[in-house]
Structure 1
Amino acid sequence: MIRSDIVEALAEQFSQLTNKDSESAVKTILDAMSDALVRGHRIEIRGFGSFSINRRPPRMGRNPRTGESVAIAEKRVPHFKPGKALREAVDGQDDLDVADARSDAAMR
């Protein structure tokens, strides 16, 4: 599923919203989530999961072409941890649903 699929699903579910309104709503939500993560806040959506920032400490790497050691700086990376309801829903899917999803994706 991509961003435009979310916009379409939102517009279909709420007939009073136009595609432009749906796009604006999705953009606003994603921008707010991005801003919160940039500020170092944690985002929790009950039943779905939580987004947080993980710290990757500095380390020594190696240039694969020359074999030379390279210092890699510390990084902050976004991390998603699915909630219990989402984990159970995904785990509860049988193989037929997965096959249906693959065939739907292939048709696009």
Structure 2
Amino acid sequence: MNKKELVEKVAEQADLSLAQADRAIKSMTDAVTKELAGGGSVALTGFGVFQVKERAERSGRNPQTGETIKIAAAKQPSFKAGKGLKDAVNGK
């Protein structure tokens, strides 16, 4: 499912216009992005948690030359599925 299909599904299920559903989805993604960029997390009970994880500096290899290189430490957004989502996916 892509964004357009998601907007159509939300509009249908929530009885909204396509424009309203699009704004709602954009607002939600913007709010999650802003919270994660500030170092926070977003927990949606029964669905999951969006959070930021720290990746330590590590060494890797340049596949073209085989040379060992350092890969800088970075923050990585992640999602941990909640029990409700896991159960739905597993058909429980």
TM-score, length-normalised on structure 1?
Answer: 0.79
Task: Give the structure with the higher percent strand.
Answer: 2
Aligned partner of residue 71 in structure 1, secondary structure: strand
**Could you say which residue in structure 2 is the equivalent of 1:96?**
none
Unaligned runs of 5+ in 2: none
Give the CA deviation at 1:14: 3.1
Aligned partner of residue 51 in structure 2, secondary structure: strand
TM-score, length-normalised on structure 2?
Answer: 0.91
Is 2:33 the counterpart of 1:28? no
Find the structure with the greater CA-based Rg. 1
Q: Deviations over 1:25-82 (max 9, x none)?
A: 1101111111111111111001100011111100111111111111110011111111
Name segments (4+ residues, structure 1) moved above 4 Å: none
Measure the CA separation in 2 of the matches of 1:58 and 1:4. 38
Measure the CA separation in 2 of the matches of 1:77 and 1:24. 26
Unaligned runs of 5+ in 1: 94-108
Measure the CA separation in 1 of the matches of 2:14 and 2:53. 36
Measure the CA separation in 2 of the matches of 1:60 and 1:20. 47
Aligned residue pairs, count: 92
Aligned partner of residue 64 in structure 1, secondary structure: coil
* Mapping for residues 32-43 of structure 1, pairs under 5 Å: 32-43=31-42
Q: Kindly tell me: are residues 14 and 90 of structure 1, through their superposed partners in 2, closer, same or farther at Cα, counting changes over 3 Å? A: closer
**Could you say which residue in structure 2 is the equivalent of 1:72?**
71
Aligned partner of residue 41 in structure 1, secondary structure: coil
